[in-house]
Structure 1
């Protein structure tokens, strides 16, 4: 009976460790997602401020023969 209890305790400790690691991974992913959302918002705002027909950089323009 003691051996079975030891095996169960070991499995439970392992499961707790895995759950903690999954929680840390989910937290890191949420932080990265929040950062990416903020960057997308910033880029969207920049796109709104671009005036159509405004002077582009020469390297961005398509040559006339295209």
Structure 2
């Protein structure tokens, strides 16, 4: 293959694209990793809140009902 100026320029352009694509992949990977950690933390928090609600429902089931007007008042 002969090394013409056009071929060299095309090769340089392709190499630059690869570098930019590698950086984009690294950036996306970092974003996905951060989102995954957030999702795991939120799932743990939802589980904790679910347990608190269940505990609250069990404890209020034994208490006397509160006299409140119906919601349409």
How large is the Cα RMSD of the aligned pairs? 2.2
Alpha-carbon distance in structure 1 between the residues aligned to 2:14 and 2:67: 69
Runs of 5+ consecutive residues of structure 1 not aligned to the other structure? 56-60
Name the count of aligned residue pairs. Answer: 62
Alignment of 1:31-50 (within 5 A): 31-50=37-56
TM-score, normalization by structure 1: 0.79
Runs of 5+ consecutive residues of structure 2 not aligned to the other structure? 1-6
Larger Rg: 2
Q: Please name the residue that 1:28 is paired with.
A: 34
Cα distance per residue 1:14-66 (max 9 Å; x no partner): 000000000000000000000000000000010111122647xxxxx785373
Which runs of structure 1 show a deviation greater than 6 angstroms over 4 or more consecutive aligned residues?
Answer: none
